[in-house]
Amino acid sequence: MPHPLPPGLSVLDVREDAEWMAGHIADAVHIPLAELPARTSEVPEGQVLVVCKVGGRSAQATMYLGQQGHDVVNLDGGMLDWEAAGREMVSETGAPPMVV
C-alpha cells in the first residue's frame, strides 16, 4: 500500500453520499459539508485530514473546523489526486472504488 497515513491522523470526508459510496479512504468519517455544523461532535479528536473531490469543499470545512478549535489539514487536490497517486480506496457499492 503506497504512502500510508501517519499514525494518529484521522480522515474526514465531506463529500455527498453518492460520492462516498463510490469510493473513499478506508476508516474515514463521512459527514457531508452541509451537515457539518450540526455534526461537529462527530469529528474525530486529534489531527484530521479533511477531503472532498478536488479540495474546495474540504477547504471550507477546514476553515470552519479550525475556527471551532479542531486541528485540521485540507487535502489539496482531493480524492482525484489521491486516486491518481494510486492510494488505496474502498467502495460501498460492491464495484471497484472510484472517485465520482
Mind listing the pLDDT tens digit for each residue in 34-83?
A: 999 999 999 999 999 999 999 999 999 999 999 999 999 999 999 999 99
Number of domains in the chain: 1
| 47 domain-assigned | yes
Range of the domain at 15: 10-84
| 94 domain-assigned | no
- The pTM (predicted TM-score) of the whole model is 0.94
Number of neighbours of residue 97 by Cβ within 10 angstroms: 18
| CATH number for the domain that contains residue 53 | 3.40.250.10
Active-site residue flag, 52: yes
| 2 domain-assigned | no
Q: Which residues neighbour 50 within 8 Å (Cβ) at sequence distance 6 or greater?
A: 11, 12, 14, 58, 61, 62, 65, 72, 73, 74, 75
Mind listing the pLDDT tens digit for each residue in 9-24?
A: 999 999 999 999 999 9
Instruction: Please pick, among 52, 61, 72, 89, the residue that the annotation labels catalytic.
Output: 52
